[in-house]
Structure 1
């Protein structure tokens, strides 16, 4: 019995049913993508990170596919930031600690982040061939790593529960360069909270000894990947980030 609609989006709706969460996909949503998300959840569950436990993949009576996993009681980090803006720095520090713990894990069966970004840039229809070439050249020059990357690590995908912080939504998970994942988190934060974005990036660089310019060198690439979502309200900012490509 459905108790509450948690999320309603173009591709799926998320419902609570008792101690379970049911993510129901649109009927024409590719079956392969549903199964890919479920596989990612199962693989990441094996790392020991705090994530909802996958329970089943089902076909609903109306023919829609659904993923069933544990419901995590608590508010999202986004809600906490909205309700307690004075605690932004403390929340960003703890969020970064969660992300650094994630980077310490390896999941060899996940796809390559660089390969995924290459496909996204190649398929982007809102850039010219020169920009595409520069982006692909830049991507090819970036180091290939095998750290667990979330691909959408942001406050709305973290639930603050009594027993810890849980990371949700692993559809975009891949193995790759941690600084690419950080650059994407920074991008997502800038769309909602510039102060949090600046603090987060500075703290990552301080904690890890990573040069800020190195993380920033990923920004045109993650901006191009974000453009594939075709969100008009983000287009101007993302296109402006494409213009800082440096192929030297």
Structure 2
């Protein structure tokens, strides 16, 4: 691999994304991203592809300059986010397809994924140092009242992780995929749509279309999944607390912490 021949195509919280000289996607994880975490994403990517999910094939995992590197086949097209930024008037139509697509993904059984949602949430809520000990305890108590599940959850389902090639959609970025209750996935998506900022990058730049997209997504997901909006809403508290431990802008964390505290009153 010759890094001098790579061309940069993306930049996220955990990795820089390039195309290499062979046309492969190179996900070059940031310093400090552990070998175990990179191996977990590679395993999940392999699982998704083998399960027949619409995604890129994982081609390998290696190390370069002390950083983990995940190699993936290239998917043609652009992200749904890019399309929305260019054509914000398509937000409602896109949101309804996006929600229907999400419902179908969430119907898949995922016990073989071996990443338990409940354990993941409990651990990350415990790490949320923006919250006090009493606040973290209250969030965990609220989580205990929510049901378990065995369905597939992408864990980071937003328009930037959908690749469009004509009518075909494919999903990328499997680092947070887990097995659990689908309404956590829906609640997290609503947070990603509703708390982005310009400082936070791509999700913030769809602000013009975000309100209509979020509303149409929630309505369609509820209708097609059979879950009421109030059931989805119950998952927003733990989803917001978990988001606090992620590499996101401080301004977004401020809004999330305020939201969590408003729910605990």
TM-score under structure 1 length normalisation: 0.92
Aligned partners of 1:165 and 1:7: how far apart in 2? Answer: 19
> Residue 136 of structure 1 aligns to a residue in which SS?
helix
Aligned partners of 2:216 and 2:109: how far apart in 1? Answer: 27
How far does residue 112 in structure 1 lie from its aligned partner after superposition? 1.2
RCO greater where, 1 or 2, for CA within 8 Å and sep 6 or more? 2
User: Unpaired runs of 5+ in structure 1?
Assistant: none
Residue deviations 1:142-180 (CA, integer Å, cap 9, x gap): 100011001110000111024611100000000111111
Greater alpha carbon shift after TM alignment, 136-145 vs 83-92 = 83-92
Counterpart position of 1:54: 58
Aligned partners of 1:126 and 1:237: how far apart in 2? Answer: 11
Aligned partners of 2:51 and 2:264: how far apart in 1? Answer: 36
For residues 50-89 of structure 1, the aligned pairs below 5 Å read: 50-60=54-64, 62-89=65-92
Residue deviations 1:9-37 (CA, integer Å, cap 9, x gap): 46422111243101112343211011011
Counterpart position of 2:250: 232
Residue deviations 1:180-225 (CA, integer Å, cap 9, x gap): 1000001111134122112211211122221111111111111101
8 Å Cα contact 2:100/2:221 also seen in 1:
no
User: Unpaired runs of 5+ in structure 2?
Assistant: 197-203, 205-209
8 Å Cα contact 2:77/2:165 also seen in 1:
yes
Counterpart position of 1:138: 142
Greater alpha carbon shift after TM alignment, 42-51 vs 230-239 = 230-239
Counterpart position of 1:35: 39
How far does residue 245 in structure 1 lie from its aligned partner after superposition? 3.5
8 Å Cα contact 1:134/1:245 also seen in 2:
no
Residue deviations 1:32-55 (CA, integer Å, cap 9, x gap): 011011011011112211100011
Counterpart position of 1:199: 216
For residues 153-232 of structure 1, the aligned pairs below 5 Å read: 153-162=157-166, 164-190=168-194, 191=196, 192=204, 193-229=210-246, 231-232=249-250
Counterpart position of 1:119: 123
Equivalent residue in structure 2 for 1:103, among 106, 111, 118: 106
How far does residue 133 in structure 1 lie from its aligned partner after superposition? 1.2
Aligned partners of 2:115 and 2:100: how far apart in 1? Answer: 24
